[in-house]
Amino acid sequence: MNDFQTLCLELLEWEGALFEPQGENCYQMLSPPHVQQALQLPEMSRLTFDANLYTNPMEGIGNALLSIESDSLDRLGTLLTQKGKHLRLQLPESKFFTDLSSPPKTATPVKLNFQNATFRPQNFSKESAWFTLVLYRFIAVSEEKREGLLPLLINETTGVLEERTLSPLLEFLKDPGIFQQEEKEGGYDVTLSSPSSPSSPSSPSSPSSPLPLPQILTHIEKGILRRIKNTLCPFFQSMERRLEKDHQRIRDYHQDLLKETHLKFGALKFRSLKEKQKHSEWEQKEKNRVEAIHREYASKIEDLRRKYAIQLQVTPVQILRFVMPVQRQVVRVMRKQAVRDIFLDWNPLSKKMEMPSCEGCLKFSAIYSVCDTHLHIVCDECFAPCPQCAKNICRSCSPKGCLKCPPL
Ligand SMILES: [Zn+2]
Ligand SMILES: [Zn+2]
Ligand SMILES: [Zn+2]
């Protein structure tokens, strides 16, 4: 039995359905009313995972085929409703992490590089940090379709998009024991909760509360487009290549048409004025033809634009929020007379110090600038000068660009 079959059967069993195997990949199923309603099947039905074994329903007995592409799978999904979409978890220090009462050896003061500011690292202190892991599903549709999942992890306190912690975290979460040891460890707070419900701190070290989820999602969305573009890079490149090829073909064809017309005009020039007047009607016709070629070319380019436009749909499908102990360092950033304290954590999962990400686009940069208004830490692109007034614009303060100049 593969993972997909196990998942489907476990879900149906959880919902109260009973099974009796009927050969390989086939089951007799007795289902309660809500499952019957969801799957649109009678009480007694035959469930198969093999399209070759699927036969049309007989009277009184329903047949359902469960495969990745079947309609029954969508119906099965309705049984899940909101279950499993949001999970809150507390990772206790004792079992998984070393003692964080003092900074670990790898928690060295962070080295930052600012173009226009100075900084001073302060002491470390033991804190608890809330993290949010969001699994996004994206669908890109153009001439072809691509879909996939993209996990993004954010440290809520520091606002850092934690890429280096993602792999150890996903590895860590593969251990089913994390979700089942509530009683044994006594420190787990595994609850399915609605996205905006307040937290229930279950240990003295828990921070007061996590941030509201919409605020977190808005923050993460700053960096999502660029990451999806990176993930879909071969797809975008292939679309660009095909667009360029089609464009070239249309351009060549229309250029040939124009060349032909110009040759005729060229030939006309060598004739006498009298002859030319004779041909004025023909000349007008050719001019109309040139205009028609230009119009057709513009319309073909518009068709190409529509054909290769990429529509991107991004939806958060699963959210895990967890709190865990960290060693936090306060870093004082100084720009002219202004001062701002930022937080950077030593993360016990990655066993590394977090590096700040740009507050405009969540990208990591080797060098940052600091804005005058709120002392945001921004990358070069997010602190680029306005093309009209040449003033540096902080994309974290003004995501839509310069507020003083009209949009170009
Ligand atoms: Zn940026
Ligand atoms: Zn401007
Ligand atoms: Zn700013």
The backbone torsions φ and ψ at residue 394, rounded to the nearest 5 degrees and listed phi first, read -80, 120
pLDDT class of 32 with cuts at 50, 70, 90: very high
395 in a structural domain: yes
Selected residue with higher pLDDT from 396 and 268 = 396
Label residue 351 left, alpha or beta by phi (over 0 means left) and psi (-120 to 50 means alpha): left
The ligand minimizing its distance to the Cα of 380 is: 1
Q: What is the pLDDT of residue 269?
A: 60
**Ligand 3 centre and the CA of 198: distance in Å?**
29
Q: What is the pLDDT of residue 200?
A: 34
The ligand minimizing its distance to the Cα of 364 is: 1
Q: What is the DSSP string of 257-289?
A: HHHHHHHHHHHHHTS-HHHHHHTHHHHHHHHHH
152 in a structural domain: no
**Ligand 1 centre and the CA of 228: distance in Å?**
16
The ligand minimizing its distance to the Cα of 371 is: 3
The ligand minimizing its distance to the Cα of 358 is: 1
Is residue 102 scored above 60 in pLDDT?
yes
Q: Say how far apart CA 268 and CA 352 lie, in whole Å.
A: 78
Selected residue with higher pLDDT from 294 and 273 = 294
Q: What is the pLDDT of residue 94?
A: 59
Is residue 191 scored above 50 in pLDDT?
no
Tell me: the pLDDT tens digits for 229-251? 888 989 888 888 999 999 999 99
387 in a structural domain: yes
3-state class of 302 per DSSP?
helix
94-100: average pLDDT: 62
CA nearest to 74, candidates 65, 86, 63: 65
Is residue 198 scored above 70 in pLDDT?
no
194 in a structural domain: no
pTM assigned to the model: 0.73
Count of structural domains within the chain? 3
Residue 70's domain comprises 3-80
203-214: average pLDDT: 60
Q: What is the pLDDT of residue 54?
A: 66
**Ligand 2 centre and the CA of 384: distance in Å?**
11
Query: In one letter, which amino acid is 342?
Result: I
Q: Say how far apart CA 69 and CA 67 lie, in whole Å.
A: 5
CB under 5 Å of ion ligand 1: residues: 358, 360-361, 363, 379, 382
178-199: average pLDDT: 40
Distance of CA 243 to the CA centre of its chain: 25
The ligand minimizing its distance to the Cα of 388 is: 2
Query: In one letter, which amino acid is 337?
Result: Q
Instruction: Give the count of beta carbons closer than 10 Å to the beta carbon of residue 328.
Output: 22
DSSP code for 357: -
Is residue 190 scored above 60 in pLDDT?
no
262 in a structural domain: yes
CB under 5 Å of ion ligand 2: residues: 386, 388-389, 402, 405
**Ligand 2 centre and the CA of 28: distance in Å?**
69
**Ligand 3 centre and the CA of 220: distance in Å?**
17
Last residue of a domain, one of 24, 53, 80: 80
The ligand minimizing its distance to the Cα of 335 is: 3
93 in a structural domain: no
Q: What is the pLDDT of residue 199?
A: 34
Maximum distance among all alpha carbons in the chain? Answer: 106
Selected residue with higher pLDDT from 52 and 343 = 343
**Ligand 1 centre and the CA of 142: distance in Å?**
28
69 in a structural domain: yes
198-206: average pLDDT: 35
Is residue 204 scored above 50 in pLDDT?
no
Question: What size, in residues, is the chain?
Answer: 408
pLDDT class of 267 with cuts at 50, 70, 90: low
Percent of the chain past pLDDT 70, that is, above it, reads 83
Task: Say if residues 316 and 329 touch (Cβ distance below 8 Å).
Answer: no
Last residue of a domain, one of 254, 288, 311: 311
Strand partners, 124: 329
Selected residue with higher pLDDT from 99 and 359 = 359
Q: Say how far apart CA 27 and CA 36 lie, in whole Å.
A: 15
**Ligand 1 centre and the CA of 359: distance in Å?**
6
Task: Say if residues 87 and 323 touch (Cβ distance below 8 Å).
Answer: no
Is residue 201 scored above 50 in pLDDT?
no
**Token pair belonging to 195:** 């996205």
If asked whether residues 375 and 306 sit together in one domain, one would say no
3-state class of 98 per DSSP?
coil
Contact residues for 28 (Cβ-Cβ < 8 A; gap 6+): 19, 20, 21, 22, 44, 45, 46, 47
CA dihedral angle for residue 72, residue 28, residue 48, residue 148, rounded to 10 degrees:
50
CA nearest to 188, candidates 326, 93, 319, 82: 93
Is residue 86 scored above 60 in pLDDT?
yes
pLDDT class of 351 with cuts at 50, 70, 90: confident
The ligand minimizing its distance to the Cα of 373 is: 3
How many alpha carbons fall within 13 Å on the CB side of residue 112? 31
Q: What is the pLDDT of residue 3?
A: 80
**Ligand 3 centre and the CA of 295: distance in Å?**
46
401 in a structural domain: yes
Is residue 202 scored above 50 in pLDDT?
no
Q: What is the DSSP string of 309-326?
A: --EEEEEEEEEEEEEEEE
**Token pair belonging to 375:** 């002392």
Selected residue with higher pLDDT from 183 and 388 = 388
**Ligand 2 centre and the CA of 357: distance in Å?**
25
Average pLDDT value over all residues in the chain: 81
Tell me: the pLDDT tens digits for 37-80? 888 888 888 888 877 766 655 555 567 777 766 777 778 888 87
Query: Exposed/middle/buried for 19, CB within 10 Å: 0-12, 13-18, 19+?
Result: middle
Last residue of a domain, one of 30, 50, 80: 80
Is residue 270 scored above 60 in pLDDT?
no
